[in-house]
Amino acid sequence: MSSTSGKSSGARGGGTRPGGEMLRGFLAHLAVEKGYSEATIRSYGTDLEQFGEFLKRSKRSLEKPERITREHVRSFLAELHRLRLTKATMGRKLSSLRAYFRYLMRHRMISVDPMATVRNPKQEKRHPQVLNVDQAVALMEAAIEPDPEGLRDLALAEVLYGSGLRISEAIGLDLNDVDSDVIRVTGKGSKERIVPLSGAAVKRIRRYLEQRHAMLGDNYAEQALFLSVRQGKRLNRRQANRIVARLGALAGLPKDVHPHMLRHSFATHMLEAGADLRSVQELLGHERLTTTQRYTHLDMRHIMQVYDQAHPRAKEDGKGKK
């Protein structure tokens, strides 16, 4: 991958990139030891290079991290405020810095962590965007041509919604990852998990696989499950985003639909139907239960209805009588 290629032409002298060898070593650590995706590593690199550019104003550099103090970090945070970045974006950038300085501390390249007492901005509580059940079904049943491309699009949507996959996980699937009614998914940190396929997804995938050969072109050895039409190669993230947006438009949905919205909808609908939080956590591949708890923003009327139906004393009239 380009961000960790280790090219030496700019490693010394005036042409070095911000962070130089230290930054490249950190990014290589994320790739090799953490197993992060190329997109994630690129994001870390961009955040740190932005901080490196900011440090130049104070005649500091990521190449000499022992000269970076908490005040430099706080000034950087003030700069992000001035640029009107969202709190979520600022938090992500600070997390990148935090991971970098932890790495330097672990390898004894610095003795004081400038991030030790720096906290992320308090985040606004925002619930994930979700489709309701009717909207999700309408998208899955969008009127689309039953040609190889259309069959692929519907199969992809069913996998995203029916199994709650991240888009990177869905487009990363190979043919041998599909086994009857389950799929083997490689998630964050290269961790594998087995996820069930819905009955609808099984049917969609089966129909798509019957026509997949028409999309291969000369790439007969391509093992990716979801292929691009023109190249016969693995579908990329941008193409997948366009597919889901197109299905949403065809279904007449009133909002722009993106792949992660289908994952959010999967989690919310599972919890609304009574699935326990731990099971949904396993299905989503979340390391922490608190991440999954974002989806517990269920409609209060639904919660009250379930409570009234399930709790043995929910309908007491206050006098000990039902």
| Secondary structure E strands in the chain | 178-179, 182-186, 192-196
- List, by residue number, the catalytic residues: 166, 188, 260, 263, 286, 295
Q: Which residues pair with 280 in a beta bridge?
A: none
User: What tokens appear for 232 in the block?
Assistant: 């016969």
pLDDT for position 229: 80
What's the whole-model pTM score? 0.56
Domains of the chain: 2-6+15-106 (1.10.150), 133-295 (1.10.443.10)
Nearest Cα residue to 222 out of 235, 204, 238:
235
pLDDT for position 123: 60
Q: What is the spatial distance between Cα 285 and Cα 166, in angstroms, rounded to a whole number?
A: 9
pLDDT for position 104: 93
Residue-wise burial string across 102-141, b where 16 or more C-beta atoms lie within 10 A, e elsewhere: ebbbeeeebeebbbeebeebeeeeeeeebbeeebbebbbe
Average pLDDT per consecutive 10 residues, the chain (322 residues; last block may be shorter): 37 41 91 87 93 91 89 92 88 92 92 87 66 90 89 95 91 92 86 88 94 83 88 89 93 86 88 81 79 61 62 55 45
Please state, as a whole number, how many other Cβ atoms lie within 10 Å of the Cβ of residue 249.
Answer: 13
pLDDT for position 178: 93
Nearest Cα residue to 26 out of 48, 56, 59:
48
Q: Which residues pair with 182 in a beta bridge?
A: 179, 196
